[in-house]
A and B are shown apart, each in its own frame.
Chain A
């Protein structure tokens, strides 16, 4: 027998039109911390879902050997029984219930017909000690920070005597301290004989903790690196992940913005009656024709509120101030009016409020401009198809066809559909909220290239982003938002990440 706790052999999993995994081999040694890395859409999450039984054993090809035995899981329940605990990005805790109720959920300790609360609390305390979390077992989960919730989730997995712990991007939502703490705990659990598989995008963190690293790309195993034998650094990982080394993350722009002002916002304030407070206070800025203006700021600073208040104000803020668009004073009262005037807004969360996931690519692309494909209210089906096809080709959206539902596309391709929708409107100014959130390195480059093409053709772009390198790499000018107002304007060429951060934390 080998010392492998897990072997996944020749795993192939297909979705309609997409081969998500093709002949993947994945081995994990007993007692190690193994990291799984790859771009978005490389197949990491799919592989984990195959392992955990989310995709039952007759839904894919290949075999799984766990603890030396061939296993066939029909559901998550089966894999948990076997001792595999998976902690997903979206935590599976009930916020309104207490820590001990959550940990014992589904495995309550009974005493006759009632639950044995004292015993459950005692056991929870023990488990919390193992993950070094000092909270009361009776605290409600919703009152804990996200980092602590993560630990509760791990404690829950431990309560079921899991011998293999799988964490899907556990640190994505954590701050640095919580991250370090989590990594510490993984090391500690290792000493207690728990094997961990961790999926992560943060390569620094991977290098800190992993003993073995497996790289997936396009649904295939590219390599498995042993830290003791191989010399591994960030550059090498990126090279394996994208299949090429990325010299220029940001494509060079050849066009220059003109002096003609497209959008000017003066003394713009907004009051949110639902929250009962001002969300924007005296905002002043402008955007020129052919210019990329970056709007930076921390989450909750008012960036998105600013965009939405300009774009027809769908949240019903009480706004004041001047909005001059293409030389005319405007006050859009519905997104429709903004769109008609040539102002478009691609939302930050394409799944939640950008796209209609259950509808086809074709229907999504023409949604904001059905006049463009209809006569007297009747849609010209062929024209609609043709325009969708044109965008699929020009933006190289990877799909088996324009009838494909948007929910079946990868994040990067969904974002391209969102872009196509707004390009079809033909706006003069596109407010692009988090243009590359949740998409992989390759797709990012493509989105940046599209942005450059658009401004070269004279469109203006107001880009909202949380990623400082992106703001610095793509913008001509940068405005920084903090606490509902603009705290500074920077020239992108001379700006530094530190300078932006300083303005963003200024109150």
Chain B
């Protein structure tokens, strides 16, 4: 019990986020008489979160290296329109459109980084220029046609479709998506196996590990949570492609930031750029890499959003950058640089979108919604600062 308390106290910031998310979800579930937690709504919530979460992941790294990128909202809107145009007017195959837009996005990110990395121009200004430019570009490409409707089913599936059920059956577990259940089960097994392998290696090196009881409790708790989410998703149409893509992005970025050399370099540059440079890290290259990845993710976000709407509109992407920044800050990223995690930003995006989704369910007035979102952002940052102070 004591051990549990010390672990909780040590990681109060990290766990605080998860607790807050659970609390918000519980409150909305009660207020909406269970509608919020229904399979259909959770699937919807996750699909809504997709394009913001993807942006928030990229933004987290940008903020970690002490910069900001305001251009990504309209960049994703503009690139979504490019995807729509290449599909409907140039009649490119879907895979080529997506590849083209992703490459374009990466280039746009590198372009934003250029004045920042080589001339030391503040990213705020450089990306504000991008904000204006991409907004204009979006209006320009949609000027002739207005909203571009996308008839391509496989493209739209990225935002609306679900993974096929390979084991559809009327008799075995009717009404549940069996492939999703299977994936959930695999995830749980992989998680548990990974935890055991990790523990074994740590013991080999004689490092400190959780006591046996607490370790098992952690495994059981996480398995139940994973299982519960799977169960809810399987109750509707199963996993959507958006969820698959979002999870893939989060897992890959989480791995990069925590386990790779380039991840360490990014956090070192954020923690102290001068010390990083003198430790042999090329700060310029890291800046390019982070903005490049931001552009790539903006393109991905644009694709997800366009596919979800099944069309490209002249207003697409408006204020996405602010949502992403808010999600990242709710997720615990620090403006002073060097601090912030991918999983935190995912939770931040979920908190932010849960609020939106929940309040929409309750029919809360839109003006009040903005006020509440603002207050939650403020509270999250205050909580973050307070817990950080206690630690120091």
Identify the A interface with B (CB < 8 A). 16, 311-312, 314, 334-336, 338-340, 345, 347, 352-359, 363, 366-368, 370-371, 374, 377-379, 381-382, 385-386, 407-408, 421
Residues in A whose Cβ lies below 8 Å from that of B279: 335, 339, 367-368, 421
- Nearest CB of chain A from residue B204's CB, rounded to whole Å: 8
Say yes or no for B338: interface residue by CB 8 A criterion. Answer: yes
CA distance A363 to B279 in the complex (A): 12
Q: Which residue of B lies closest to A356 (CB)?
A: B271
Given A379-B264, A382-B207, also A358-B271 (CB < 8 A): yes
C-alpha gap A99/B202 in the complex (Å): 60
| Alpha-carbon separation in the docked complex, A334 to B207 (Å) | 37
CB pairs A–B below 8 angstroms (21 shown):
A312-B280, A314-B277, A336-B282, A345-B278, A347-B278, A353-B272, A353-B275, A356-B268, A356-B272, A359-B268, A359-B338, A367-B264, A367-B279, A367-B281, A370-B264, A377-B262, A378-B259, A378-B260, A379-B260, A407-B392, A408-B392
Q: Using a CB-CB cutoff of 8 Å, which residues 289-305 of chain B contact chain A?
A: none
B201 CB-CB contact with A under 8 Å:
yes
- What residues of chain A lie closer than 8 Å to B391, measured between beta carbons? 16
Q: How many A-B residue pairs have CB under 8 A?
A: 87
Task: Give the shortest distance, in Å, between B373 (CB) and chain A (any CB).
Answer: 29
Which 5 pairs between the two chains have the least Cβ-Cβ distance? A356-B271, A353-B274, A336-B280, A368-B279, A339-B280
Query: What's the Cα separation between A335 and B283 when bound, in Å?
Result: 11
Interface centre among A347, A363, A368, A408 (most CB of B within 10 A): A368
Instruction: Evaluate whether A334 and B272 lie within 8 angstroms (CB atoms) in the complex, with A378-B259, A382-B201, A382-B202 already known.
Output: no
What 1/0 mask marks residues of chain B from 42 to 72 whose CB sits below 8 Å from any chain A CB?
Answer: 0000000000000000000000000000000
Q: A354 to B282, Cβ gap below 8 A?
A: no
Cβ of B276 within 8 Å of any chain A Cβ, yes or no, is yes
Question: Could you tell me if B271 and A336 are in contact, using CB atoms closer than 8 angstroms?
Answer: no
Which A residues are CB-close (under 8 A) to B392?
407-408
**Which residues of B, 316-372, contact A by the 8 Å Cβ criterion?**
338-339
Hey, which chain A residues are within 8 Å of B172, CB to CB? none
Q: List residues of chain A with CB within 8 A of the CB of B272.
A: 353, 355-358
Contact present for B282 and A334 (CB under 8 Å): yes
| Cβ-neighbour of A359 out of B262, B271, B282 (below 8 A) | B271
**In the complex, what residues of A have CB within 8 A of residue B201's CB?**
382
Min CB distance, A371 to chain B, in Å?
7
Q: How far is the CB of B369 from chain A (nearest CB, A)?
A: 35
* Contact status B274-A352, CB under 8 Å: yes
Known A16-B391, A359-B267, A367-B264: A385·B205 in contact at CB below 8 Å: yes
List, in ascending order, chain B residues with CB within 8 A of A363's CB: 264, 267-268
| A382 with B271, Cβ < 8 A, contacts A314-B278, A354-B278, A368-B279 known | no
Contact A335 B271 (CB under 8 A): no
Per a CB cutoff under 8 Å, which of B260, B263, B280 touches A368?
B280
Residues of B within 8 A of A (CB): 201-202, 204-205, 207, 259-265, 267-268, 271-272, 274-282, 338-339, 391-392
A residues within 8 A CB of B271? 356-359
Q: Is the CB of B275 within 8 A of A374?
A: no
- Contact B264 A386, beta carbon cutoff 8 Å: no
Contact B338 A377 (CB under 8 A): no
B14 CB to nearest A CB, Å? 14
Residue from B261, B277, B280 in contact with A374 in the complex, judged by beta carbons closer than 8 Å: B261
Whole-angstrom distance between the alpha carbons of A382 and B204 in the complex?
9
Q: In the assembled complex, how far is the CB of residue A424 from the closest CB belonging to chain B, in whole angstroms? A: 11
Given that A359-B268, A359-B338 are known contacts, is A386 also in contact with B274, CB under 8 Å in the complex? no
A379-B275 contact given A336-B280, A356-B338, CB 8 Å threshold: no
Bound CA span A20–B155, Å: 63
CB-nearest residue of chain B to A314 = B277
Residues of B within 8 A of A356 (CB): 268, 271-272, 275-276, 338
Most chain A beta-carbon neighbours within 10 Å: one of B204, B261, B392: B261
- Scoring A312, A336, A345 by chain B CB atoms within 10 A of each residue's CB, the highest score goes to A336
Q: Once the chains are docked, how many angstroms separate the CA of A256 from the CA of B204?
A: 41
When chains A and B are docked, how far (Å) is the Cα of A367 from the Cα of B276? 8
Most central of A340, A367, A382, A408 by chain B CB within 10 Å = A367
- In the assembled complex, the Cα of A353 lies from the Cα of B275 at a distance in Å of 4
**B-chain residues with CB within 8 Å of residue A358 when the two chains form the complex:** 271-272, 338-339
Q: How many angstroms from the CA of A352 to the CA of B273 in the assembled complex?
A: 10
Contact between chains at A335 and B207 (CB < 8 Å)? no
Tell me, rounded to whole Å, the shortest Cβ–Cβ distance linking B293 to chain A: 15
The CA of A176 and the CA of B287, in the complex, are separated in Å by 47
Besides A312-B280, A314-B277, A386-B205, 10 other CB < 8 A contacts?
A335-B280, A340-B280, A355-B272, A356-B271, A356-B276, A357-B271, A366-B264, A379-B260, A407-B392, A421-B279
The residue in chain B whose Cβ has the minimal distance to the Cβ of A353 is B274
CA distance A462 to B202 in the complex (A): 39
Look across to chain B and name the residue whose beta carbon is closest to the beta carbon of A368. B279
Residues in A with CB closer than 8 Å to B265 are 370
Q: How far is the CA of A334 from the CA of B261 in the complex (A)?
A: 18
Bound-complex Cα distance A355 to B278 (A):
10
Shortest Cβ gap from A123 to chain B (Å): 37
Q: Are B278's CB and A353's CB within 8 A? A: yes
Cβ of B64 to closest chain A Cβ, rounded Å: 11
- Chain B residue contacts of A16, Cβ below 8 A: 391
| Chain A, residue nearest B273 (CB) | A353
Q: How far is the CA of A354 from the CA of B271 in the complex (A)?
A: 11
